[in-house]
Every structure is written in structure tokens, then in C-alpha cells.
Amino acid sequence: MKYVLYYDTTDAAKAAERVMASRAMSEKMKDDEKKLKAVTPSYTHADLSGGVQIVETDDIEELVGMIAFYHGATKIRAVPIIELDRLMWIADEVNKILPEGHRLG
């Protein structure tokens, strides 16, 4: 599943340290070992107050671990996203089982 990560830097020095540590750990891992993959680069606000990135993972614990790793330096909010075509297919499937008057859209 894909997620948009919205992050706000709460301690710039700690955040920079964690980014460097994260990069060092990532370099030691093989690509096939990585469960959390970046879909986009990390886009940072010009004032360095935070930013946004899209990531993909099927392991929610990996995502939670990454958020915990940055705790105290960065507040991260992960919002799941889905492609519109897939969302429309799901809505159609749900509408097949919902009674009249309770259907989506």
C-alpha cells in the first residue's frame, strides 16, 4: 500500500542526525530486504519546517518502526492512498452488497 508521509520537524539537529543514521542503515541493506520503499524523493519545505513524501510498503510494522525512529525529532503522519481506478472498483463491489438507499455515490 502507498502512503503520503507528512512530516513536521520538531528538532532540526536531531532530525538531521536521524536522517544520516537512516541513510547509513539503508546503505547496508540490500534492495530486496527493504520493505519500506520511497516512491518519491522527500520534498522539504524551503524553511526546513517539514515536508512530504510518498512511500510504499505491505508491512505496517515497518512503517510504524520508521515513524518511531524519528520520534522526538520529527512528527510524521502517514495517510494511506489508493489509485482512483482501484477505488472505483472497490466502490462498485461494495455497492453490489449494500441495500438500495445505502449505496456509495
Q: What is the pLDDT of residues 46-103, one digit of tens each?
A: 998 999 999 999 999 999 999 999 999 999 999 999 999 999 999 999 999 998 888 8
Residue 58 has a pLDDT of 93
Specify which residues 30 forms β-bridges with: none
- Residue 63 CB coordination number (10 Å): 21
Residue 30 has a pLDDT of 73
Spatial CB neighbours of 3, under 8 Å, sequence gap ≥ 6? 54, 55, 56, 57, 63, 78, 79, 80, 81
Specify which residues 80 forms β-bridges with: 3
Look up the pTM and report it. Answer: 0.79
Side chain identity, residue 56: E
